[in-house]
Structures are given as structure tokens and as C-alpha cells.
Amino acid sequence: MDSASIIEWLRPDWFFDLTVVSDEYNRGRYLAGLWMTVQLSVISIFLSLIVGAVGAAAQGAPSRTLRVLVGFFVAFFRNTPPLVQLYFFYFAIGTVLQITGDDGRPEPLVSNFGWAIISLSLFAGALNVEIFRAGIEAVPKSTVEAAEALGYKRLQIYKDIVLPLAVRISLPALGTNLVNLVKTTTLAYAIAVPELLYVAAQIWSEDLNVQEMMNVLLLSYVGIVAILVWVLHHWEKRLRIPGYGR
Amino acid sequence: MDVRKGEVVCIIGPSGSGKSTLIRCINALNDIQSGSITVEGQEVSDPKLDKLELRKKVGMVFQQYNLFPHKTALQNVMMAPIKVLKQDRKAVEERARALLKKVRLEGKEDNYPGELSGGQQQRVAIARSLAMNPDVMLFDEVTAALDPETVKEVLQTIKTLASEGMTCILVTHEMGFAREIADCVYFTDRGVIVESGPPATFFDEAKDPRTREFLSQIL
């Protein structure tokens, strides 16, 4: 590609001739895709946080079996590609989990949207387990001891002392993982969940406007992630303790 | 070793001689390997011991203050009575404010530990322990992490407590303070109590050669 065609490619005309803006049908598809991506992101973030908190608590449990199980879970989801996990859920487990529909033919028990949510939540959740655990371990033992000396029970210490401090320590790493999770929602494309990338590909293959749709796609994700980062930043700011960590 | 109500006892000795271990056994933070400790008729080495009940009677102040960094000074003092003793918040707050005043931290109620100096943090820690109305207070080298100017304000607080009749057991390196405040001084070395006695006789007429050597090094 010579320099003239690079300039051609960057020419702003494309932003003014977008079928997602001018064409009502495409606009509807684009907004539906955007809404789907937002749903995937928000639900997966929420569930992955629960998976992370429960997993981290289980890893600190006295039961060895429980700790080993959580260890396997984390290793499985951390050491395999998320796309392979998604295929595994959709094609391997999805074809087994079927019920007989009204017309007598087998129907999947979980929709492709459902599998995307499950897969993404477990994937990000496994990493959240590690992030939360690191946060819990970083709470000084002496602080816990002070609570013990005051007569606190184990669970009270966990709830009132360890968790509030661990969350603060975990936040930066958690933010990185959640931003990655939002970007990983594009994998749902592979099992035909009509999210942003999926609808963009539909539009560009019909309208032959690949470059424009690429720009739209990139800007959309910049926007979505910016909102998430803004939320996380404000959360971090609200939790900041004057004079702590200096 | 026997500590009577209202008595002030200081434990001194070289590093690693078991001073801290000894007082940490008193509120069951360390497990007792052999021997026994009785607090107010309660056997600490009893495997059926209710640790929570014991710890309500025994207050402890640590070398590194160990305040809860995400709570203000006032909240640090109020938390345990509310959460552990289930006392009424209003009454606890009143008492907590009075305690902070007593350790001369009026006006610092809403500051977080990170905004306070070491000496101030340590005084919050003392107030936090006192809020539980303990029968005994344990002080584990509470001035060791402080700079010399702030040591005095913490020692002053302890002195006030002692003069009010609080039973105190202190592990300390402040010999002058031990001499001034203690009813009895214990010297530990290599895990055993070597010698003990009232400060006047202990510091001036130590009998054991190990005690004499230790004292000659630091006095």
C-alpha cells in the first residue's frame, strides 16, 4: 500500500457516508448488536465477580478437597484459549444438553447467548479468583491478628476487615481483567450471537463497506471500554482511604 | 509468674528470648506448648477454651499498631464493642469519644490511621483495646517502632492507665520506664524466666550473671 492509498483510507468521507447512520435497517441492526454486546458485557462482568469472590473464599477454606477443586477450575480456564472454551461449551456440552421441543425435535436447553454468558463468566471468573486471592493474601496478617485479639470471629474478620482491604488492593488488576472481558465478548461471534462484531460483518458483507464498518467497530469498542474504565475509576476513587498506601 | 489485679509487670530480655511469645500466649494468639496460664480462673491451655471470651477480657496493643486502615480513628475504637460485644452504637460512640480524649486525640476522631503519626496511631490502638473494657492490658513492645519524640506521649498514656489501676503486662526495651512504672520486672533469656523482682532490687542488685550481662549492655 503506497502513501496515497493510506491517506485515501483515512479520508474522513467514510464517516459521512455510513449506512449505519443513513440506512434505517442497518442502524437498527447496529444498535441491536451494540445492545447485545452491552448485555454480554454487563451480565458476564457481574457473574464473573461472583465466581471470583466465591472461588477466592473457597480457596481459603479449611477443606482440602474444595481448594484442589478450585485450583483445577482456575487452571482449566486460565490455561486454555477462551475461543476453545466457547466451542467446548457450545458444541460439546450444548449438543448433549438437549430437550425435546413441542414439535418433537430436539432443542438446545441453553441458547447460544446463554452459552456465551456461561463461557465468558467462567473464563473471566477464574482469573478473578486469582486476583481476589492475591488481594486477600496482601492483607497484612498483623491486621487480622489485631482483630483476633479484639475477639472477632473468623467470618466477621473476613467480612469487616479482609474483604474491604482486599477489594481495594485488587481493583487495578480487576479493572484490567474486566476490560479484557468486554473485548473478549467478540468471541461470541463464533457461535453466532448477534453482537457488535457479528452485525458489523453482516453489514459489511452486504454493503461492501468493510473499512467504514471497521472504523465504526473500533470506535464503538473505544466508547464501551471508556465507559467501563470511567466507572472503575470512580469506584476506585470512592474507596480511596486518605493517607493509606503511602 | 503471678500478676495480681492492678499490678504493672514489665518483661525485659534480649531479642528472641520469648518475651513476646509469653504475652501472646496469654490471649491465645500463640499456642501453648507446655505449662499453663490462668486468666481470671480461665485455663488458657484448655483445648475447650472459648478464645473469644478470653480475648474480651484481655486487651492487646502491638508494636506495629495494627489499626484497621480503612476506618477512621473513631470507627477503629467503636468497631469491636459494636460487632463483638453487640453494644448499643450510641453508648459506644460516647465512650469511644471519651477514650480518644483520654489518650489526647481530641479532634482526630475522623482522621484515618494513614493520616496520623506513629505515636498517634499507637494511642488510637490503646483506646481501641480499652473500649472493650478489658481486665488486663498486654503491651507488646509498643514503642519500638516509634521515633524518640513520640515514645514519650505513648508512655505517658500507659502511665496514666497504670496509675488508674489497670492491670498491665508490658514487653519493653524502655528500661527507665520499666524502673519507674513496674511493680515487678521479669527477665527472660532463651525461653525461660531467669530472674524477677521489684525494679529497685532488680536493676541494682541482679543476681543472675545473664541478667547482669544484659543490663550492663543496655544501661
Give the nearest partner residue to B66 out of A142, A151, A244, using CB atoms: A142
Question: How far does chain A reach from its first CA to its final CA, in angstroms?
Answer: 51
Q: Distance (Å, rounded) from C-alpha A47 to C-alpha A55?
A: 12
Chain A residue at shortest CA distance from B27: A149
SS3 at position B71? coil
Q: How many other CB atoms sit within 10 Å of the CB of residue B160?
A: 13
What φ, ψ does residue A73 adopt, rounded to 5°? Answer: -55, -50
Contact B104, A231 (CB under 8 A): no
Contact B8, B23 (CB under 8 A): no
Chain A contact present for B172, CB below 8 A: no
Evaluated on CA atoms B75, B59, B97, A152, the torsion sign reads positive
Which of B27, B50, B68, B75 is the best mutation test for A, with the most CBs of A within 10 A?
B68
* Among A54, A60, A43, A65, CA closest to A128: A54
Q: Give A191's contacts (C-beta < 8 A, 6+ positions apart).
A: A86, A87, A90, A112, A115, A116
pLDDT for res A7: 63
Looking at beta carbons, which residues of chain A come within 8 Å of B29? 145, 148-149
Contact B180, B10 (CB under 8 A): no
Sheet order of strands, B192-197 included: B58-61, B136-140, B167-171, B8-12, B184-189, B192-197
Residue B176 DSSP one-character state: H
Q: Distance (Å, rounded) from C-alpha B124 to C-alpha B61?
A: 10
What is the grid cell recorded at B93? Answer: 460512640
What is the grid cell recorded at A239? Answer: 474507596
Q: How confident is the model at residue A8 (pLDDT cuts 50, 70, 90)?
A: low
Looking at beta carbons, which residues of chain B come within 8 Å of A167? none
Q: What angle do CA B201, B203, B206 make, to 5 degrees?
A: 70
Q: Distance (Å, rounded) from C-alpha A87 to C-alpha B45?
A: 58
Looking at beta carbons, which residues of chain A come within 8 Å of B69? 143, 165, 241, 244
Q: How confident is the model at residue A104 (pLDDT cuts 50, 70, 90)?
A: confident
Chain A residue at shortest CA distance from B25: A149
Q: What is the pTM of this model?
A: 0.78
Chain B residue at shortest CA distance from A151: B52
Min CA distance, B67 vs chain A (Å)? 7
| A16: pLDDT strictly greater than 60 | no
Q: How does the average pLDDT of chain A come out, rounded?
A: 89
* Among B178, B112, B101, B179, CA closest to B142: B178
| A15: pLDDT strictly greater than 70 | no
Looking at beta carbons, which residues of chain A come within 8 Å of B79? 150, 160
Give the nearest partner residue to B80 out of A151, A164, A245, using CB atoms: A151
Mean pLDDT (whole number) for A149-167: 90
- How many helical (H) and strand (E) elements, i.e. helices and strands, does chain B have? 9, 8
Contact A33, A200 (CB under 8 A): yes
User: Which ipTM was obtained for this model?
Assistant: 0.87
| A123: pLDDT strictly greater than 80 | yes
Min CA distance, B44 vs chain A (Å)? 14
Give the nearest partner residue to A151 out of B55, B67, B114, using CB atoms: B55
Looking at beta carbons, which residues of chain A come within 8 Å of B31? none
Residue A186 DSSP one-character state: G
Chain B contact present for A167, CB below 8 A: no
Q: Distance (Å, rounded) from C-alpha B18 to C-alpha A230?
A: 52
Quick check: A244 and B129 CB within 8 A? no
Give the nearest partner residue to B84 out of A146, A151, A243, using CB atoms: A151
Write out residues in chain B with pLDDT < 50, as ranges. none
SS3 at position A39? helix
For residue B11, how many C-alpha atoms fall within 13 Å in the half-sphere facing its CB? 28
pLDDT for res A17: 57
Q: Distance (Å, rounded) from C-alpha A74 to C-alpha B156?
A: 53
What is the grid cell recorded at A163? Answer: 474483604
Strand partners, A235: none
Mean pLDDT (whole number) for A36-61: 93
- B14-73 residues touching A, CB cutoff 8 A: 27, 29, 52-53, 55-56, 58-60, 62, 64, 66-70
Q: Sort B29 into a burial class: Cβ within 10 Å, 0-12 / 13-18 / 19+.
A: buried
The more confident residue out of B219 and A192 is A192
Quick check: B112 and A242 CB within 8 A? yes
Q: How confident is the model at residue A101 (pLDDT cuts 50, 70, 90)?
A: confident
Chain A contact present for B170, CB below 8 A: no
